[in-house]
Structure 1
């Protein structure tokens, strides 16, 4: 499902079920030693997806340890993103020469908890969500906006090393093309010397009771 959102230079692997009783990969046990069973399963499966994607680029299986903000640390010259929600786990990776920005996210196609929409929207977005709900009621657009902003953050952080709040990006969603554009409302200077970020473009799909979003850029 997620491959439809990504260019050929990005390799993605997804799973809809866990392997019962699967053990953590050696070197990652401590990362989930205190986690509840559901969290353990999604972590193990998502990390397995990431290793499978890295193998496509010739990287041997190895632990994927977290960075200081708990972001996955990828092999030199690689970037990637991992996501998991109920009934879905996925990872996408690419060479940084092909995609220096890469973020994916998945959410159930269900309503946001009460009050969450107010905390993740900026002026103009609530009205957009209302219009989308009237014209395309099969999609929970508040949840889609949440997922899209998660993908934007995951793409943003590795090249800026800064937090990006939900209130620091304004989304415009095209429901017919399955695309979105995130206008950044803060300084987009990058630590890697690239051009400052101002607008990030992404794609989404709603299928199998899920909402999946992706942002890819150089």
Structure 2
């Protein structure tokens, strides 16, 4: 049948139609592979950026706490906030260590002099604690400001990472649009290719039918036409 179809010209355009079918399959595979590549790249980049954002979290949290405590210390959060700042300062390991060391030294001196329970000793201890607090409080505030500044920088780092994440989504959206555009253009070409094959095949059949019809008429009329 294939030989006869070729002999009669009925195979005209079929090669083009078959090629169009294969091209359509190639385009479908191309779309799948392209989207897989885009997805993999997006997921890896997204994971790296999210990891970078998470890496800033401790500094952001510490910065927020330091900013809030600094606001307490300078009275922005009222009396309750100021009390919280004072308590936090006095509970700090640096201040408490120095206070304990100074107090113990003063008590040892008073004990050696036989004045352990005297009013002068108690006054001296109170004065020492107050002086130490005045001396250390400013440094404590400076340290709070430093941690607050680190937190602000960490927020900026997260902002940059989030901006890069947004750019990633925009870029992958563009990649997907470009891929779909290529597939659509390719399929349009496939449709044209198939149409050309079908037209060629239809033309061959029409020509064969015309030849057979003409031959039949000649036989019927004895070759008069």
TM-score, scaled relative to structure 1: 0.19
Q: Which has the larger radius of gyration?
A: 2
| Structure (1 or 2) with the greater helix fraction | 2
TM-score, scaled relative to structure 2: 0.18
Q: Which has the higher contact order (CA 8 A, sep 6+)?
A: 2
